[in-house]
Amino acid sequence: MDDKKRFEDCPFLKEKKVVYCKAYPLKKMLPLDRLFEDENLCFNKSYRTCPIYQKHAPETMTEMSICYFLGTENMLYCDLSPVKKYVPVYSLKLLNPCSSNAYRDCRYYKEFKEADTDTEKVQGFIMEREAYYCSNHLWIKRSFDGIKIGIDDFGQFIMGPIKEVLLPEKGRWNHPKNVFVTLKTDDGVVILDFPVKGYINNVNDAVSSNGTLINLDPYGDGWLVEMVPYSGFKSIENNESIFYGEKAKAWLEQEAFKLRHFIESEIGVTVADGGEIWRGLRDALGIKGNLLIKMFFS
């Protein structure tokens, strides 16, 4: 890691000028831009009426436009932390995650990052918050007049580069059929049943001619079809094998552990403690992709 990166500040670390009263026994910091200067006696001639001033001022004191005891200092604070605590610039620069790349591990930073975006990572795999997840790694999102279906990040990872995609044809209302998508990879063919029956009103032609779109952007350009489910969106919400929110997270975590244990046992019975699942894994390891596919898609 180069040093520049290592000492990159947290984007939420903010600097502010604060003022304080040097005569007051407690050094209480007030951010400058939060004080109304005319209303505060420290900032104008009425400082002379301040009891603290009167107590501490030397007798021969020339008149000033602001109070002699008014001190200012540059302070740093975390924009995310619920309690705004101001600390002098020098102290925070010394030992804090805020001024090194360790901020990425900071609780506040992480919570914000997760709450801020529509996606989050579970054991290294991306999930979209608004999506529903089927146990065969299809995702479902609401669309304009029905639902959109695609393959989740974990699913595309397990399949590896997708070579060919056979999408169902645009259907008709009166022919309810079990619909599915067929995907060809170097490690075998995967057939994924759609969780609900309905009218296919749109298919992603870009994906049928270029399957790697699914690998590159599983929740975006890699979508598969749009359809109108026969029994409405309720049929998805009420389906017990379709997960959403916390349940979806717990489910994906289980899948990731399954993967981890599978690969660990491929290598020998050891247990390791550490980071996230490494994405370069498939290529580097020559991992038996066909076994992976079997494990997660049958």
Partner 1 sequence: MIIYIALTAELEKRLWVKEIEESLVRDFGFPIRKLDLPISPESFYDKNRRQYHSTSILKEILNNTPENTLKMVGIVPFDLFIPILTFVFGEAQLNGKVAVVSTARLEQGYYGLPQNHLLLHRRLIKEIKHELGHTFGLLHCKDRACVMALANNIIDVDKKSLNFCTACLNLLHSMIDKIKKNSAK
In the complex, the residues that contact ligand SF4 under the rule CB under 6 A are 10, 12-13, 21, 23-24, 41-42, 47, 50, 52-53, 67, 69-70, 78, 80-81, 97-98, 103, 106, 108-109
Within 10 A of 55 (CB to CB), how many other CB atoms are there? 8
Within 10 A of 243 (CB to CB), how many other CB atoms are there? 18
The pattern of x and - marking residues 229 through 258 that bind partner 1 according to CB under 8 A reads: ------------------------------
Closest distance between partner 1 and the C-beta of residue 70, in Å?
34
Sign of the alpha-carbon torsion through 220, 226, 232, 235? negative
Which helix (DSSP H) or strand (DSSP E) does residue 214 occupy? Answer: helix 212-216
251 Cβ neighbours under 8 A, 6+ residues apart: 133, 135, 243
Nearer to partner 1, 115 or 271 (CB): 271
In DSSP notation, 188-205 reads EEEEEE-SS-EEEEEE-H
Nearer to partner 1, 244 or 262 (CB): 262
Among 30, 260, 288, 297, binds partner 1 (CB under 8 A): 260
Helix axes 245-267, 289-297, angle to 10 degrees: 140
Q: Does 273 bind Zn ion (CB under 5 A)?
A: yes
Part in contact with partner 1 (CB under 8 A); list of ranges 62-70, 93-101, 180-188, 242-250: 93-101
Find tokens 């990040």 and name the residue: 153
Q: Are 23 and 56 in contact (CB under 8 A)?
A: yes
Which of ligand SF4, partner 1, Zn ion, none interacts with 23 (beta carbon under 5 to 8 A by kind)?
A: ligand SF4
Nearer to partner 1, 122 or 149 (CB): 122
Q: Does 95 bind partner 1 (CB under 8 A)?
A: yes
Backbone angles phi, psi at 180, to 5 degrees: -155, 170
Closest distance between ligand SF4 and the C-beta of residue 9, in Å?
8
Query: What are the residues binding partner 1 (CB under 8 A)?
Result: 6-7, 94-97, 99-102, 105, 107, 124, 259-260, 263-264, 267-278, 280-281, 284-285
